[in-house]
Amino acid sequence: MKKALVLLLLLALVGAFAFAQSAPSAGSFHAWNRGTFYPYAQVGSDPAVTAWGPQWDNTGIDQEWNFSYDSGADKSGNSYGFTATDEFGGKQLFATNGASGTTQWFNTYFDVANTVKLEFGIPRNYDYSIGGFAEPYSGWETNNWNMIECNTDALALATLTPTAGFKIGFGMYSGDAPQLFTAQASGGALNATETGLANNFVVLASYTAPKIATINAWYKAEDQDTSVTNDPFIANSTSGELKALDINATLISVTNYTFELGYVGEFQNSSNPITRFEFGAKGTQSQLSDALDFVYAGDSAVTAFAAELALEYAVSGPYAIGALVGYDNGDGANWFEGGYGGYAGFMINPYFAINFANGSRVRVGVLYASGVSSVTSDPSNQLGPNFPSTVTQAVIGIPIDYVWSF
Amino acid sequence: MWLPVILAGLVALSACSTTQGSVGSSPTKESFTASILSADQVRAQYGQNYLVDPFLSQGGSFLGASNDFIVVRIALASPSGGEFSLESASAVDAKGNTFAGYLSALRLENLAAEASSADIGGASTLQAKIQWYYLLSEDFQVKPGRHSYLVILAGRHPLPDGLTAHIVAVFDGTVKVFDLPIPDAD
């Protein structure tokens, strides 16, 4: 099996050089910083709780920095690069992943004529800043390993694109790889005693029918302990081997609209698998952009669902107004678009935004969430707010967030 | 088990789809043109910034753009369809020196994925726009009707003035050479 894989990659390398094209573009370095400042009050509690930092972080402004470099393609079409992200907000700058420290992701890659791509790094885990439940199922993206939904400290991934529109990939997790700046924490994301290939791998495939649809699928086996919440909506309650299958499709045959359908099955507990369905629609018509998302997740005990509508209207120049409206039944991990995860019940967030031509953006709004939930937060994964117990309070906040390209 | 459900959903959604890449009514005679889009035209038609518009070069407040994009629109009209082939595409000066080269769809998708890491707009939006508007392959069969495809020439910023986009393409057996003057940067 391994020999066949190596042979396949070598053949692809030969083919890649044979069909490589000249594209004399320069190497490019990019950096962006995004953050959220979020004064809020939980109006239903006794006494009312107020704070100035993001509710899910509770440590002041929450932000992350990203630096990336891409060499640009040489005459043979080869390129290399990296992307590195560090998230912190009033916490230690360099510390172990998790609630007490910062979170870091890193990915370095070498791309041979866009045919073979070799990647290695620390994949992005679930995080509030993924921004909306449209993302977790949107499939395996070139540099966005978070789409694989892995809870691991290192991942090596080989991607083969034998022809335009078709990709296959194979990745191996490492359960006990060192962190960038500190040693692996005790009881980390993976059970270090089971780090073999059979317990830690992912296979992926993607096919695009031009201007019709893209279908992505991955299957993974991942060993993990109970400290990790893998599913973004329902916590896994057992430790050990997790096997998961994701199939999602994006329809692109309607001009200026995309429709996404996704299915995820998680089989960590064979007698009680988690099933998740997601649907998304995004569109743009002149000055109006809109998105609708719906997610359902359930096992034998829990039925969680959420829906959200996002609208934004470009008024004039860089100025826009918009609103997010959503509902979450409170049995899941409480997910709300725009980085304000952790709420349940009815939510509404009208806002004013400035969109700059270089990709920077500032958004200021008011958020109300009725706040009824049966679950508490999961600070180890930074999925939800730092609520000490069951959420029953309504919340009024003034979220101010930005992303700035340098 | 759920795959048939997903596929059935796709088929249902496809029912309301338009013919891929088609523009306007059925043509009665063949035409084959190419033109350069200004940055303002690209912004107006595909999105105001590179987080939602994959056809704009990426640049920040301080670092600026590393590469400049020249966006060329190729328009085809044919009552019967035919084979299309992009033979070469580059930006050259009066002496024939090359300053910008053809950016493949795969390369553009990679760049889009890099930009989408900021989680605004999302990779799926960018990739959908590429799939819909960009020239996905250098050789393919064109169906009858009107079609337009974008092609990007990418070169190190800043590109010198006085360049010409030199494009050689074949459609239905007809070879065309386009030499389009590239407007100087402001």
Minimal Cα distance from A147: which residue of B? B123
Smallest CA-to-CA distance from B173 within B147, B142, B151 is with B142
Work out the minimum CA distance from A109 to partner chain B, whole angstroms.
11
Q: What is the DSSP string of A273-301?
A: -EEEEEEEEEEEETTEEEEEEEEEEE-SS
- Distance between CA A61 and CA A55 in Å, rounded? 10
Determine whether the interchain pair B109/A142 forms a contact, defined as Cβ–Cβ distance below 8 Å.
Answer: yes
- Distance between CA A100 and CA A182 in Å, rounded? 13
Going from the N-terminus, what domains does chain B have, and what CATH number goes with each? 21-181 (2.60.40)
Smallest CA-to-CA distance from A154 within A178, A182, A174 is with A174
pLDDT band at A151 (very low <50, low <70, confident <90, very high): low
Work out the minimum CA distance from A14 to partner chain B, whole angstroms.
18
Minimal Cα distance from A252: which residue of B? B128
Task: Spell out which residues of chain A touch residue B51, defining contact as CB-CB under 8 Å.
Answer: 359, 361, 403
Opening angle at CA A160, ends A220 and B53, nearest 5: 95
Phi, psi (5° rounding) for residue B108?
-65, -40
pLDDT at A106: 77
**Whole-number CA gyration radius for chain A:** 21
Minimal Cα distance from B107: which residue of A? A114
Task: Spell out which residues of chain B touch residue A116, defining contact as CB-CB under 8 Å.
Answer: none
pLDDT at A89: 58
| Residue type, position B50, single letter | Y
pLDDT at B74: 96
Closest in B21, B98, B124 to A211, CB measured: B21
Closest in A22, A129, A213 to B10, CB measured: A213
Work out the minimum CA distance from A159 to partner chain B, whole angstroms.
13
Q: Where are the beta strands (DSSP E) in A225-371?
A: 240-251, 257-266, 274-285, 288-298, 303-316, 319-328, 345-355, 361-365, 367-369
Minimal Cα distance from B102: which residue of A? A23
With a cut of 70, which residues of chain B have pLDDT below it? 1-25, 113-124, 186
- Higher-confidence position of A85 and B34: B34
Task: Spell out which residues of chain A touch residue B132, defining contact as CB-CB under 8 Å.
Answer: 211, 252, 255
Which helix (H) or strand (E) segment holds residue A166: the answer is: strand A166-174
Going from the N-terminus, what domains does chain A have, and what CATH number goes with each? 2-23+37-405 (2.40.160)
Work out the minimum CA distance from A85 to partner chain B, whole angstroms.
10
**Whole-number CA gyration radius for chain B:** 18
A11-16: which pairs have CB atoms within 8 A and are 24 or more residues apart? A12/A112, A12/A115, A12/A116, A12/A160, A12/A162, A13/A112, A13/A115, A13/A116, A15/A115, A15/A162, A16/A77, A16/A112, A16/A113, A16/A114, A16/A115, A16/A116
Q: What is the mean pLDDT of residues A353-377?
A: 77
When mean pLDDT is compared over A41-50, A110-119, A225-234, B175-184, the highest value belongs to B175-184
Determine whether the interchain pair B58/A30 forms a contact, defined as Cβ–Cβ distance below 8 Å.
Answer: yes
Residues 6+ apart with CB under 8 A from B30: B77, B78, B79, B171, B172, B174
Which of A85-89, A131-135, A265-269, B134-138 is predicted with the least confidence, judged by mean pLDDT?
Answer: A131-135
Closest in A24, A164, A259 to B106, CB measured: A164
pLDDT at A245: 82
What does each C-alpha distance from A237 to A191, A242, A269 come to in angstroms?
15, 11, 8
CA atoms within 13 A on the CB side of A307: 2
A-B C-beta contacts closer than 8 Å = 214
- What is the token pair recorded at A221? 């086996």
Determine whether the interchain pair B49/A356 forms a contact, defined as Cβ–Cβ distance below 8 Å.
Answer: yes
Burial class (CB in 10 A: 0-12, 13-18, 19+), B88: middle
Determine whether the interchain pair A247/B3 forms a contact, defined as Cβ–Cβ distance below 8 Å.
Answer: yes
Closest in B2, B119, B131 to A252, CB measured: B131
How high does pLDDT run on average in chain A? 67
- List pLDDT tens digits, range A274-331: 887 878 888 877 788 888 878 787 877 778 787 888 898 989 888 999 998 888 776 6
CB A217 within 8 A of CB A244: no
pLDDT at B182: 95
- List pLDDT tens digits, range A205-236: 888 887 788 888 888 776 654 444 445 555 55
Determine whether the interchain pair B154/A25 forms a contact, defined as Cβ–Cβ distance below 8 Å.
Answer: yes
- Higher-confidence position of B84 and A375: B84
Q: Is A111 on the interface with B (CB under 8 A)?
A: yes
Work out the minimum CA distance from A351 to partner chain B, whole angstroms.
15
- Distance between CA A119 and CA A116 in Å, rounded? 10
Q: Is A163 on the interface with B (CB under 8 A)?
A: no
Determine whether the interchain pair A406/B59 forms a contact, defined as Cβ–Cβ distance below 8 Å.
Answer: no
Torsion, Cα A328 A330 A331 A333, to 10 degrees, reads: 80
47-86 of A, contacting B, C-beta below 8 A? 66, 68, 70, 72-73, 77, 79, 81, 83, 85
204-263 of A, contacting B, C-beta below 8 A? 208, 210-214, 247-255, 258-263
Determine whether the interchain pair B111/A70 forms a contact, defined as Cβ–Cβ distance below 8 Å.
Answer: yes
Smallest CA-to-CA distance from A285 within A256, A316, A310, A314 is with A256
Q: How many percent of chain A have pLDDT more than 70?
A: 55
Determine whether the interchain pair B136/A164 forms a contact, defined as Cβ–Cβ distance below 8 Å.
Answer: yes
Smallest CA-to-CA distance from A244 within A315, A357, A371, A152 is with A152
Q: How many percent of chain B have pLDDT more than 90?
A: 41
Minimal Cα distance from A262: which residue of B? B6
